[in-house]
Copies of this chain bind each other. A is one copy, B any other.
Amino acid sequence: MLFDFYSKTRSYSEEICKPLKIEDYIPQPTFFISPPKWNLAHTTWFFEEMILKQYLPGYKQFHPRFNFLFNSYYNSLGERTTRQSRGDLSRPTVEEVYQYRHYIDKHMQILLKSDKLDSILENLVLLGINHEQQHQELFFTDLKYTFSLNPLLPAYNENALCEDGEDTYKEFVSVESNIYEIGYQGEGFCYDNELAHHKVYLQPYEIRKDLVRNGEFLEFIENNGYHRFEFWHEEALNWLKENKITKPWYWFQQDGQWFQYTLAGPKKLNPDHILTHISYYEAAAFAQWKSCRLPTEFEWEAASDQFDWGKRWEWTESAYLPYPGYKKDKGAVGEYNGKFMVNQKVLRGSSVATSENHSRKTYRNFFHPNMGWQFNGIRLAK
């Protein structure tokens, strides 16, 4: 059964690459984007380096340089290609990377069908699967970013992840002050940053049931919101100025009309659709303009049964910090979360690009406040 989960996840990574041309596997236009080829190899490397090399007796590595080439950020596993140079590598070819995947899959099958499977190993495999699901989401958001820079504005797929709407409208839910329980509890898989389960006292608050729409954000723009310093953090103002930002990343105007680039190609902007690809800086400024604020991650979690979520990663006001009693895992796996716990913001929920079974209400995603290339949205609180 673990092998079934493994297999399905691995197949899905290859399935979503089908619309690609070989050329699309290569470019990396900026440091935070990974090329599809690198994604396919790096998720495979995780199983080889963390699992097969440790647990499958007699395992022979596929290629002596692949540990160097496809390590992302694990300092304990040795040196690695610099993060900016992933797009400089034409070799190994795409075909060789698929061979690498199938070689690993074959050996993982041997391991997973053997009687070696204790709970430590099982947890590692689950981590590897969840890791690959994260990269499936990144596949979509990275490709969207790269394609959006191409003057030809290519489409990935005519039906892909079209931007979308919602039913309820601008209603707020009220939540009472109380002690709430926060963090993951139970037996399934979760990341170490969702532990330990603990108590938080919340003052009374209100939180909106639906997410902010394109039309509302357009009003902010038309109200000169990007140029009214009183709504913005000081660092946000510098970011706006240095990058000349006056609108969400994928929006553009042509002949007086607003469009947004989507994975189905450029589309006319629909004011009722849910706003997406917004940075924390923009989210926070928008909220201030609305005389609201963003919820904290605790407010979000405590109220999460009272609204629909799952279409956008939702920025919170909370900084990404360890929960009280947080323990990071030993060894390379311990580098997964803890070392990023400074200068980032927590996002809650999940998005249209998130893989199936890869979301829960205790999940803590995190990004730097200037990042908007994920399917990020805004939920207001007050």
Q: Which A residues form the contact surface with B (CB < 8 A)?
A: 21-29, 37, 65, 68-69, 73, 75-76, 81, 85, 87-94, 146, 149-152, 154, 177, 179, 198-203, 205, 229-230, 232-237, 280-281, 284, 293, 317-319, 321-322, 324-325, 334, 339-343, 345, 369
Give the one of A149, A322, A342 with max B CB within 10 A.
A342
A36 to B, closest residue via Cβ? B90
Oligomeric state, in number of copies? 4
Give Cα A369–Cα B85 distance, bound, in whole angstroms.
25
Leading 10 A-B pairs by shortest Cβ distance:
A319-B319, A201-B201, A29-B88, A23-B90, A26-B26, A75-B229, A22-B22, A24-B90, A203-B324, A234-B339
Q: Are B152 and A65 in contact (CB under 8 A)?
A: yes
Interface of A, helix, strand, loop or mixed by DSSP: mixed
Give Cα A149–Cα B86 distance, bound, in whole angstroms.
11
Could you list some 15 contacts between A and B, CB below 8 A? A21-B91, A23-B91, A23-B93, A26-B26, A29-B88, A65-B151, A69-B151, A177-B199, A179-B201, A201-B201, A233-B341, A235-B343, A236-B342, A317-B322, A342-B345
Q: A149 is contacted by which of B25, B28, B85, B234 (Cβ under 8 Å)?
A: B85
The distance from the CB of A381 to the nearest CB of chain B, in whole angstroms, is: 10
Q: A203 is contacted by which of B26, B151, B199, B202 (Cβ under 8 Å)?
A: B199
Chain B residues contacting A152 (CB-CB under 8 Å) are: 65, 69, 91-92
The distance from the CB of A102 to the nearest CB of chain B, in whole angstroms, is: 19
Contacts A22-B93, A201-B201, A342-B345 given; 13 further ones with Cβ under 8 A?
Answer: A21-B93, A23-B91, A23-B93, A23-B94, A24-B90, A24-B91, A87-B87, A89-B150, A91-B154, A177-B199, A203-B324, A205-B324, A235-B342
Give Cα A324–Cα B202 distance, bound, in whole angstroms.
9
Q: Are A199 and B201 in contact (CB under 8 A)?
A: yes
Q: Are B199 and A146 in contact (CB under 8 A)?
A: no
Chain B residues contacting A234 (CB-CB under 8 Å) are: 73, 339-340
Q: Are B29 and A90 in contact (CB under 8 A)?
A: no
Contact A23:B26 (CB < 8 A) given known A233-B340, A319-B319: yes
The distance from the CB of A252 to the nearest CB of chain B, in whole angstroms, is: 15
A234 to B, closest residue via Cβ? B339
Give Cα A202–Cα B236 distance, bound, in whole angstroms.
32
Chain B residues contacting A236 (CB-CB under 8 Å) are: 342
Give Cα A339–Cα B239 distance, bound, in whole angstroms.
14
The distance from the CB of A346 to the nearest CB of chain B, in whole angstroms, is: 10
A345 to B, closest residue via Cβ? B342
Chain B residues contacting A68 (CB-CB under 8 Å) are: 151
A228 to B, closest residue via Cβ? B75
A281 to B, closest residue via Cβ? B342
Q: Are B21 and A23 in contact (CB under 8 A)?
A: no
Chain B residues contacting A319 (CB-CB under 8 Å) are: 319, 321
Give Cα A25–Cα B21 distance, bound, in whole angstroms.
13
The distance from the CB of A382 to the nearest CB of chain B, in whole angstroms, is: 10
Q: Are B203 and A89 in contact (CB under 8 A)?
A: no
Give Cα A79–Cα B25 distance, bound, in whole angstroms.
27
Chain B residues contacting A27 (CB-CB under 8 Å) are: 26-27, 87-90
The distance from the CB of A144 to the nearest CB of chain B, in whole angstroms, is: 13
